[in-house]
Amino acid sequence: MSRTNIESQLSDFATALVENSGGLIDWHADGSQAIVMVPNDLAKSLGQRHDTFLVKTQPSDEGLSLSLGGEFLDLAGRTLRQFVPSIGIFAMEDISVKKTEFSAIVDASFEWQNARCKVLQRNPMILPYHTWWFHASLQSEENWETIIPVTINARSGVCLPITELMNLDGLKPAKKSLAEVSETLEPVLRFAEAETLRMAAPFIQRIDARRERDRKRLQDYYRALLQESFMPNKRTKMMPTGEEIDSRNKAVKLELHRKLSEMDERYSCNAVLRPIAMAEVQMPSIAIDVEIQRKVQKRIFRIFWNALTRQLEPMLCTRCQGSFRSFWFTNEIVEPVCSSCHNKGQNC
Amino acid sequence: MSETEIVDGRGFVMTRTDTSPMGIPIRFRADLSEFSIAKTEGKSEQINLHLTHARLQLLRGFDELLCLEGLSGVEHLPHQIETVRKVLRRFRGRVLLADEVGLGKTIEACLLLREYLLRRLIRRVLILVPNPLVSQWADELSGKFHLDFTIAPRTATSNCDEFWTEHDRVLVSTSFARTGLRPKAIASASWDLVIVDEAHHCRNRTTRLWKLVNSLNRRHMFLLSATPVQNNLVELYNLLTLLEPGHLKTEADFKKQFVTRGNPRDPRNRQRLRELLGEVMIRNTRGLVNINLPPRYAQTILATPGQEESQLMNDIQQYLRAQLTVIATKESATGKTSISSFDSKQQASDESEQDISEGFDGTSVETSEIEPQALTASNGKTGLSRMRLHAILTAMGSHPATAAVALEPLAMTDRVARELCNRAGRITHSAKDQKLLQLLKENHAHKILLFVGAIRTLHRLQALLTEAGVAYSTFSGEQSANEKDAAVEQLKSSVNLMICTESGGEGRNLQFADTLINYDLPWNPMKIEQRIGRIHRYGQTQDVYVFNLCTAGTLESRILRILNDKIRMFELVVGEVGSILGNLDEGQEFESIVLQLWQKASDEQQLDADFETLGDTLVTAQEKYLDAKSLDESLFGEDYE
């Protein structure tokens, strides 16, 4: 990415930031600086003493300098949190849902390992989907970071591979939320954790390998030192006494222990997930009720037709809370369990 | 895998632990402390704004160095930037920076430090440097990199663990850190980054410094030395063992594999050794980075003072010596020494500010290493502190008018000082003025930087030049950035002379100038080198001429003599002075040494003799440096990368 590109991204961002926070920004014709007029509290949040100040694309002692390295992004973050809502409620009204026959689709989409399924009825409805964006970071001897979007059906709790909800055409602001924002947070965090581990796998492997290499190197080094403690003194050519050997060995072992702890501390990995924003998108959908029969027991479940993916959404395993399309059911309460949890249960 | 754990009252912050395939624990934390779920009326562009902000934050990747923005007076030299990238990516913050002298190891280390800090990869930093380089480091860190460091005070505070745990960024001299109770206190804290300058002082594993550095609990470490090997290859082994224990296996293994039997300076298996060194060491050489500067020529111009000026200088010195005697007598009578009664740090700071406001820049004696050798009388009436004494003596070397300003605080309470002050103020033209005008006339075709240490001297010279009809521009700390730019532009296009104070031209390209005149001389050789470095630097294509004006019989003339005649400082590559001063391991700052010599000497002959001894010490330090330099060049070659 060229320097100019970053500069223009920063300028565009600064413009949007000021305008969305209730201020005015006027760029000079050459694009090198702009005059900004903002309310007093916004100026303060941006680290400025006056409500009219300059924004510059080059480092400068006066005004606000737009750069990746300076304090601009930190100040912008603070301002965003203070002045710009990070949660929005939207609706997708234009999307059409016309499907009427679902029996074949249900059969094709799911595997019922030990039960029978009967499609009962379809109910058109508006469904709330929550998309959460997380900043995920792993801090070890090195750092790794990315942005992870997670979309969840707020009714079923199923996480879906839909990442670009905000880019959909026809998205309009909605008046009222159809699901509590906090309700979906815990399941999406779990999903985001798994996603983090999946996406950072090469990074984690690299750190693992380095740690092993360093551990081996340290152990080899101190092992060699231990062997040297039996050697005669270079100057006096005297053999060490048993006491001297014990004392040297003890010192070497202590030093190794210290170095290994230091190394473990250096390589320990802290993963942090920070929510950046959340959007609820209300979309027309169809809820399909299905009756699952396991031996003599019957239970009705609700499956959702997703108008965007044009597919039935998976269901949740009641044990691990993962989304699956292949299920086993328990005898007593017809509880849906994924194959992995089913096998674990059997092993127990 | 552990269960979710509620960490705070908000109910959403939770931690969970997973493990990597090899068993590194991965502690997950969801941090919702800065996320508000109260406002849900966000528009789509507002949500996108949050996402754009997060993506911009991600752009702070290592491809884009953050440390390069917002620096003052630091050129972006390609080899330095490349070194920063290498250390970040390949060396993971553990490296021996062994660039040849003058290629900017300190700059590289500071760039790396800034990069790590900006990325929040580190918070707690300890910098260990030889005593004579402490103030140089402090100046560069704050002036160029805008990083404030606490200098470990020379008081009992530094013996306490709390000092080292409470301060996140500490700069301390190696000689101070390794003695007394400090090693234990320093090691009690954990550090994200430790920087050791002139790291060859850690070459011996039995020394207190090696043991101190080895005992530090640190994540990253930069060792800096142009000459990591001083005497034999085992020193290199010792240094690298500090950095990565076991990298070169045990000492016995290392000797067996890499040291020629009977000649500890001669390496075997060079290729393999080079490969191993390449994993922990970076060495840029002039040949490699293609920095070959044109020659530099220096000349000292001695001005003989007129009778009035000469008499005044003698009288001021006599007055100062008499004041010292009064203080000493009072101390012996009261049994109390000013050493203990002097709140050095506070006073140094107060006086320094006062002097700067008066316009004298060169007053920073021992502000970094608070030596409790103050001169303030216990009744405080004379007001003659170590700082004041230094200010007056350096002002005398600059211009009588500047000496008058430096004497003013004493003149308020002392009749003799007042009289001296008045006499100094009456001398409008000093002996150096005539020499200066003559020099300017002879070099009228050259672009010249005229350096002065004090604002008052600058004002005097402005008057002198205007009177003589010499066109000039002015660059000083009093000016705004725009005025400074205009001064440089003027020098480039319409005038041939620019008068500068110490900060002159810092950060600006002045390589179009080829002549430098030191109207007065800082006592610190590093500062003299900095002045020269303004024009004798990367990008200079012409031969460079340095003229040092100085009044006969002054302390400056003696300093010049030892720097010029003994170590031929003006012919050295920029950076070598630091390496030589760094070899004065137990030493004080050079300015302090000069001041002490003046204090100790009872007459001019003794002063000359003491300076001669100081010169010999410098020669020894230089020989030590040259010997190591030659060994390292033969060891690493010119093409080591």
Same domain, A99 and A184: yes
Same domain, A143 and A260: no
A25 touching chain B per CB within 8 A: no
Give the pLDDT band of residue A263 (cuts 50, 70, 90). confident
Of the residues A54, A84, A114, the one at which a domain ends: A84
Residue A235 lies in a domain: yes
Indicate if the pLDDT at residue B625 is higher than 60. Answer: yes
- Which of A143, A165, A221, A230 is the best substitution to test chain B (most B C-beta atoms within 10 A)? A221
The A residues from 300 to 319 touching B (CB cutoff 8 Å) are: none
| Calpha distance A52→A50 (Å, rounded) | 5
The A residues from 206 to 235 touching B (CB cutoff 8 Å) are: 207-209, 211-212, 217-218, 220-222, 224-225, 228
Cβ-based contacts under 8 A for chains A and B: 218
Percent of chain A residues past pLDDT 70, beyond the cut: 96
Residue A106 lies in a domain: yes
Residue in chain B closest to A57 (alpha carbons) equals B69
Indicate if the pLDDT at residue B11 is higher than 50. Answer: no
Residue A64 lies in a domain: yes
Which residues, in sequence order, are bridge partners of residue B25? B19
Which residues, in sequence order, are bridge partners of residue A33? A56
| Calpha distance B448→B515 (Å, rounded) | 5
**Residue A154 φ/ψ, nearest 5 degrees:** -70, -20
| Mean pLDDT along residues A168-191 | 86
Same domain, A337 and A280: yes
Same domain, A291 and A328: yes
Q: Are B495 and B472 in contact (CB under 8 A)?
A: yes
Same domain, A292 and A151: yes
| Calpha distance A48→A50 (Å, rounded) | 6
Same domain, A229 and A282: no
Contact B121 A212 (CB under 8 A): no
Same domain, A301 and A313: yes
Q: Can you spell out the DSSP letters for B53-114? A: HHHHHHT-STTS-STTTT-SS----HHHHHHHHHIIIIITTEEEE-PPTTS-HHHHHHHHHH
With contacts defined as CB-CB under 8 Å, which chain A residues touch B252? Answer: 224, 228
Residue A214 lies in a domain: yes
Higher-pLDDT residue of B61, B635: B635
pLDDT at site B611:
92
With contacts defined as CB-CB under 8 Å, which chain B residues touch A71? Answer: none
With contacts defined as CB-CB under 8 Å, which chain A residues touch B247? Answer: 217
Same domain, A173 and A322: yes
Tally of domains in chain A: 3
Higher-pLDDT residue of A6, B365: A6
- Which of B50, B76, B121, B251 is the best substitution to test chain A (most A C-beta atoms within 10 A)? B50
Measured at the CA of B580, the angle between CA B288 and CA B454, to 5 degrees, comes to 105
| Calpha distance B493→B451 (Å, rounded) | 20
Residue in chain B closest to A189 (alpha carbons) equals B30
Pick B219's closest partner by Cβ from A266, A270, A279.
A266
| Mean pLDDT along residues B209-221 | 93
With contacts defined as CB-CB under 8 Å, which chain A residues touch B26? Answer: 138, 197, 204, 269-271
Nearest-neighbour CA in chain B from A165: distance (Å)? 10
Write out pLDDT tens, residues B82-115.
899 888 878 878 999 998 877 889 999 999 999 9
With contacts defined as CB-CB under 8 Å, which chain B residues touch A218? Answer: 245-246
pLDDT at site A225:
85
pLDDT at site B119:
77
Please give the residue range of the domain that contains residue A253. 202-271
With contacts defined as CB-CB under 8 Å, which chain A residues touch B22? Answer: 208-209, 211-212
pLDDT at site B345:
36
Q: Is the ipTM of this complex over 0.85?
A: yes
Pick B47's closest partner by Cβ from A147, A166, A259.
A166
Residue type, B191: W
A194 touching chain B per CB within 8 A: no
pLDDT at site A32:
84
With contacts defined as CB-CB under 8 Å, which chain B residues touch A146? Answer: 58
With contacts defined as CB-CB under 8 Å, which chain B residues touch A130? Answer: none
Same domain, A9 and A158: no
Pick B37's closest partner by Cβ from A1, A87, A166.
A87
Pick A224's closest partner by Cβ from B58, B217, B249.
B249
Nearest-neighbour CA in chain A from B136: distance (Å)? 24
Contact A166 B244 (CB under 8 A): no
Same domain, A67 and A207: no
A203 touching chain B per CB within 8 A: no
Same domain, A98 and A189: yes
Same domain, A144 and A115: yes
pLDDT at site B264:
83
CB atoms within 10 A of CB B628: 22
Give Cα A51 to chain centroid, integer Å: 37
With contacts defined as CB-CB under 8 Å, which chain A residues touch B53? Answer: 13, 17, 73, 76-77, 80, 276
| Calpha distance A122→A99 (Å, rounded) | 10
Of the residues A217, A238, A271, the one at which a domain ends: A271
Most confident segment among A199-208, B267-276, B323-332, B440-449: B440-449
pLDDT at site B347:
36
Residue A170 lies in a domain: yes
A247 touching chain B per CB within 8 A: no
Pick A85's closest partner by Cβ from B12, B41, B219.
B41
Write out pLDDT tens, residues B337-363.
443 332 333 333 333 333 333 333 333
Write out pLDDT tens, residues A123-160.
889 999 999 999 999 988 778 899 999 999 999 999 98
Which residues, in sequence order, are bridge partners of residue A64? A55
Give the pLDDT band of residue B73 (cuts 50, 70, 90). confident
Cα distances from A204 to residues B23, B381, B531, B598, in angstroms, run 10, 68, 49, 63
Higher-pLDDT residue of A162, B95: B95
Residue A348 lies in a domain: no
Give the pLDDT band of residue B208 (cuts 50, 70, 90). very high
Give the pLDDT band of residue B530 (cuts 50, 70, 90). confident
With contacts defined as CB-CB under 8 Å, which chain B residues touch A59? Answer: 69-70
pLDDT at site A161:
82
Indicate if the pLDDT at residue B594 is higher than 70. Answer: yes
Q: Are A170 and A91 in contact (CB under 8 A)?
A: no
Contact A85 B46 (CB under 8 A): yes
pLDDT at site B362:
36
Cα distances from B636 to residues A343, B99, B109, B191, B266, in angstroms, run 62, 11, 21, 31, 11
Query: In the 3-class helix/strand/coil scheme, how is chain A assigned residue by residue?
Result: CCHHHHHHHHHHHHHHHHHHCCCEEEECCCCCEEEEECCHHHHHHCCCCCCEEEEECCCCCCCEECCCCCCHHHHHHHHHHHHCCCEEEEEECCCCCCCCCCHHHHHHHCEECCCEEEEEEEEEEEEEEEEEEEEEEEECCCEEEEEEEEEEECCCCCEECCCCHHHCCCEEECCCCCCCHHHHHHHHHHHHHHHHHHHCHHHHHHHHHHHHHHHHHHHHHHHHHHHHCCCCCCCCCCCCCHHHHHHHHHHHHHHHHHHHHHHHHHHCEEEEEEEEEEEEEEEEEEEEEEEEEECCEEEEEEEEEECCCCEECCEECCCCCCEECEEEECCCCCCEEEHHHHHHHHHC
Of the residues A248, A271, A294, the one at which a domain ends: A271
Give the pLDDT band of residue B224 (cuts 50, 70, 90). very high
Cα distances from B622 to residues B87, B505, B567, B579, in angstroms, run 30, 30, 7, 8
Contact B47 A266 (CB under 8 A): no
Give the pLDDT band of residue A235 (cuts 50, 70, 90). confident
Q: What is the mean pLDDT of chain B?
A: 82
| Calpha distance B467→B406 (Å, rounded) | 25
Contact B14 A221 (CB under 8 A): no
Q: What is the mean pLDDT of chain A?
A: 88
Contact A193 B53 (CB under 8 A): no
